[in-house]
Amino acid sequence: MSEQYQKMWTELGLDLKAHDALLGVLSEAYQKIFMAQDNRPQAMSYFDFVMSEVHGLRIKELLDEKAAGRKIIGSYCVFVPEEIALAANATLIGLCTGADFATEEVEKYLPRNTCALIKSAFGFKLGRVCPYLETTDMVVGENTCDGKKKAYESFKEIINNLYVMDLPQVKSANGKALLKAEYVRFKEAVEQLTGVKVTVESLKAAIKLVNAKRAAMLRLYQLRAADPAPISGLDALLANQVFFYDNPERFTASVNKICDELEQRIKENTGAFPAKLPRILVSGCPQAMPNWKLPAIIETSGAVIVGEESCVGERGVRNLVDGSGDSVDEMLDAIVERYFQVDCAIFTPNCDRLQHIEQMAKAYHADGVIHYGLQFCTPYLMESMPVQKALEQKNIPCLRIETDYSMEDMGQLKTRVEAFIEQLK
pLDDT digit string (tens) for 250-285? Answer: 999 999 999 999 999 999 999 999 999 999 999 999
**C-alpha span between 125 and 281 (Å, rounded):** 33
Percent with pLDDT over 90 in the chain: 98
Question: Is the torsion defined by CA of 124, 129, 135, 137 positive or negative?
Answer: positive
CA proximity to 424, closest of 370, 367, 376? 367
pLDDT digit string (tens) for 329-376? Answer: 999 999 999 999 999 999 999 999 999 999 999 999 999 999 999 999
Please name every residue paired with 81 in a beta bridge, in sequence order, or none if there are none.
none
The answer to whether the peptide bond before residue 228 is cis (omega within 30 degrees of 0) is: yes
Q: What is the mean pLDDT of residues 287-304?
A: 97
Examine the pLDDT at 227 and tell me if it is beyond 80. Answer: yes
**φ and ψ at 78, to 5 degrees?**
-75, -5
CA proximity to 125, closest of 253, 248, 13? 13
CA proximity to 81, closest of 287, 313, 335? 335
Q: Is 216 exposed, middle or buried (0-12, 13-18, 19+ CB in 10 A)?
A: buried
Note the pLDDT of residue 404. Answer: 96
CA proximity to 37, closest of 271, 258, 216, 244? 271
Examine the pLDDT at 2 and tell me if it is beyond 70. Answer: no
Classify strands 90-94 and 304-309 as parallel, antiparallel or unpaired.
unpaired
Mean residue pLDDT of the chain comes to: 97
pLDDT digit string (tens) for 71-96? Answer: 999 999 999 999 999 999 999 999 98
Following CA atoms 320, 325, 330, 333 in sequence, which dihedral angle do they give, to the nearest 10 degrees?
-10
Task: Concatenate the DSSP letters of all residues of 80-106 into one string.
Answer: S-HHHHHHTTEEEEE---SS--SHHHH
The answer to whether the peptide bond before residue 290 is cis (omega within 30 degrees of 0) is: yes
| 271: DSSP letter | -
Please tell me the pTM assigned to this model.
Answer: 0.96
| 216: DSSP letter | H
Largest Cα span, the chain = 59
Q: What is the mean pLDDT of residues 303-314?
A: 98
Q: Is 62 exposed, middle or buried (0-12, 13-18, 19+ CB in 10 A)?
A: buried
Note the pLDDT of residue 3. Answer: 74
pLDDT digit string (tens) for 41-75? Answer: 999 999 999 999 999 999 999 999 999 999 999 99
Task: Concatenate the DSSP letters of all residues of 37-97 into one string.
Answer: -SS--GGGHHHHHHHHTTTTHHHHHHHHHHHTT-EEEEESSTTS-HHHHHHTTEEEEE---
pLDDT digit string (tens) for 366-410? Answer: 999 999 999 999 999 999 999 999 999 999 999 999 999 999 999
Q: What is the mean pLDDT of residues 148-165?
A: 97
pLDDT band per the 50, 70, 90 thresholds, residue 1: low
| Residue pair 370/423 in contact by the 8 Å Cβ criterion | no
CA proximity to 413, closest of 386, 361, 373, 365? 373
